[in-house]
Structure 1
Amino acid sequence: MEELQGPEAGPNVTLTLRLLMHGKVCVLIGSLLFQSGARINISEGSSPERIVTITGPTEGLFRAFSMIAERFEEDITAAMTNSNVTSKPPVTLRLVIPGSQCGSLIGKGGSKIKEIRETTGAQVQVAGDMLPDSTERAVTISGAPQAITQCVRHICSVMLESPPKGATIPYRPKGLAGGHAVLSQQHGAPVSIPALSEHYSPISFLRAHNPQDLCQLEYQLDVLFIGCIIGRQGSKINEIRQVSGAHIKIASTSDGSPMRQVTITGSPTSISVAQYLINAR
């Protein structure tokens, strides 16, 4: 794979990148990243998602991303143990980048983002809309750990060549109001836990059960996210169902409620994979 060349990749250049992650995952990787040589800051709050800010010399920053991607790869492999799922989902990370830099990342007619995809082997998608109450966009990277690290190198190069224009209003995740997640074995007593909070990790919680047990996970999801999960003519949710082996149902609403109920049914492993893919979307 092609390595970045020139001063933009030098070890003395200090960079800052922001990631959008589930709160529980932040806790798991926090101590790990101190070994990278980069500075790590995890946002506080009641939101199920947190902003992870990684700052440091280029090699330390790239090392941090390599460590994150490899940890996610290990978790996916562990979640698929004793599963009949044959298609392994890729590692997926979400960067948060100023909207004014996204044009340079995409390039004229999509030329730059196409070049990054072809050079690194990673899939890169730039969200069309700004994140709520901000001037930043989400950039989703998917692939093998090495491909993700190379992709981050290219993105950093673009960001150094095209600094943000004007003031950037940073994205701050907001907490979900109310809602409850219920994980239960079919025909058994339900176990209630706080909905998608920093205390809830689908993968670690589900591992406590027999991998073959049929379970059900229910939680509330903001309607703003429903479209990107379903995809055009249901293409994305059908892909998640096929990869995970879980049954996924998104309830309809007619009362104007800002939340929709999502029900995932299957083995603990298939629910874990489905939840991982939904979070990635």
Structure 2
Amino acid sequence: MDYSDIDLTLRFLMNQKQASQIIGRNASNIKNLREQTECNITLSSREHEKRLLTIAAKKSISMKTVSRLGEILEAENNEYGKSTKLVPITLTLVIPKNICGMIIGKGGEALKDLRVKSGAQINMSADCLPKSDERTCQITGNNISVTQAIDLLIGIMIKAAIDESKGEFKGTPSAEIRAYDPKNAEEPAGRSEKDDKLMQMATAFMTANQMINPTLEYSPIEINDQLQELRVPNQHMGAIIGKGGKRIGEIRMMSGCNIHVERSDADSKYGMRRLTLKGTKQQITMAAYLVNQTISSFSTAEPKIPKEEVTIKVEEQEKPEAQVGSFVDPM
């Protein structure tokens, strides 16, 4: 059955960086998106850590808008990359908890089927968003697979709505579902959503590990097959280590890599700190990726090194040193 003319409202949860990418310079991206799709697109206030992007339109227009969203994110994520392989994108769809059972299925079979059909990695959150009856569905992959996954999920949502209109739906009635609102959300005591994001990053990278070669802002220097060194600006170390060493501990656990942070070395005069990464090539690559993503997502420090390229000279017979590329302000 063709549902292209049915009215839909889709909501996507975004961090500040993603929201900035969608908006674009001088609001150029979101302005073009509205003009090209003629879709009603709104973005919640930037005052909150999490922002909601809402799309309201017919299904056919909504899917066109979702595809364009993916194109924007893909372009932004790969703008400075030199690899011919694309860095994956992630869209997080907000879904009422009353239809999550239909998405997951008995023993997770329905969710597995969605992954196979779309080619995307799809992960449902275990808990509802704060002060709501809605959960998140995180979809990671290239734009085509992410768009296909969302189309399949919409099909399930439409079926649930039709069943409810016929009195055949067994879940909580839609009228009783509390919608998520960032301004009313409070972070649970003892739990940080920022820390939870590390696990999401690891999932996205491991999913695409066999098909991409991520471009890193700070790349490690190979010493031998099982040892590499990574240098990052001092001001980002707090974000990398985390409170009580929690964040770097999670990076070690998820990557399986032995990470040693030098307290003081010859690089200090350059305002840099050295991280020694020891493990297999895959473990080291994973750790380097997570360190870079941690800086991008969690560091609030202003850059203190010049934007022009800085080269650290190396004498013969000495351990190879890093060449640090230009530092780009996070969006």
TM-score (structure 1 length as normaliser): 0.63
Partner of 1:246: 292
| Structure 1 unaligned spans of 5+ | 1-5, 178-205, 207-212, 250-259, 277-281
Shift of 1:154: 0.2
Tell me, in whole angstroms, the C-alpha distance in 1 between the residues paired with 2:156 and 2:81: 36
Percent pairwise identity: 25
Tell me, in whole angstroms, the C-alpha distance in 1 between the residues paired with 2:293 and 2:40: 40
Aligned residues: 217
Which secondary structure does the structure 1 equivalent of 2:71 belong to? helix
Partner of 2:21: 25
Partner of 1:76: 77
Contact residue 88 and residue 243 of structure 1 kept, 8 A: no
Amino acid at match of 1:32: N
Contact residue 26 and residue 42 of structure 1 kept, 8 A: no
Shift of 1:74: 0.9
Shift of 1:49: 2.4
| Structure 2 unaligned spans of 5+ | 162-170, 188-216, 218-230, 258-282, 304-321
Partner of 2:148: 150
Tell me, in whole angstroms, the C-alpha distance in 2 between the residues paired with 1:121 and 1:101: 22
Moved more, 22-31 or 69-78: 22-31
Tell me, in whole angstroms, the C-alpha distance in 1 between the residues paired with 2:66 and 2:32: 11
Q: Which structure dedicates a bigger proportion of its chain to strand?
A: 1
Tell me, in whole angstroms, the C-alpha distance in 2 between the residues paired with 1:161 and 1:121: 22
Shift of 1:11: 2.2
Partner of 1:200: none
Distance change >3 Å, CA 134–CA 11, structure 1 → 2: same
**Which of the numbers 172, 180, 187 marks the counterpart of 1:165?**
172
Shift of 1:60: 0.7
Tell me, in whole angstroms, the C-alpha distance in 2 between the residues paired with 1:143 and 1:111: 20
Deviation per residue, 1:158-181 (Å, 9 max, x gap)? 00111373322122225999xxxx
Partner of 1:12: 5
Distance change >3 Å, CA 247–CA 271, structure 1 → 2: farther
Partner of 1:98: 96
Contact residue 13 and residue 93 of structure 2 kept, 8 A: yes
Tell me, in whole angstroms, the C-alpha distance in 2 between the residues paired with 1:142 and 1:55: 23
Distance change >3 Å, CA 106–CA 268, structure 1 → 2: farther
- Which one has the largest radius of gyration? 2
Q: Where do residues 63-212 of structure 1 align in structure 2 (5 Å cutoff)?
A: 63-81=64-82, 89-163=87-161, 165-166=172-173, 167-174=176-183
Tell me, in whole angstroms, the C-alpha distance in 2 between the residues paired with 1:269 and 1:121: 35
Q: Is 1:44 aligned to residue 45 of structure 2?
A: yes
Contact residue 252 and residue 287 of structure 2 kept, 8 A: no
Tell me, in whole angstroms, the C-alpha distance in 1 between the residues paired with 2:145 and 2:95: 19
**Which of the numbers 228, 233, 254 marks the counterpart of 1:234?**
254
Amino acid at match of 1:148: V
TM-score (structure 2 length as normaliser): 0.54
Which secondary structure does the structure 1 equivalent of 2:42 belong to? strand
Amino acid at match of 2:289: V
Tell me, in whole angstroms, the C-alpha distance in 1 between the residues paired with 2:120 and 2:148: 8
Shift of 1:240: 5.5
Tell me, in whole angstroms, the C-alpha distance in 2 between the residues paired with 1:155 and 1:236: 34
Amino acid at match of 1:136: E
Distance change >3 Å, CA 131–CA 240, structure 1 → 2: farther
Shift of 1:25: 3.1
Tell me, in whole angstroms, the C-alpha distance in 1 between the residues paired with 2:328 and 2:86: 14
What's the C-alpha RMSD, in Å, of the aligned pairs?
4.2
Shift of 1:33: 2.3
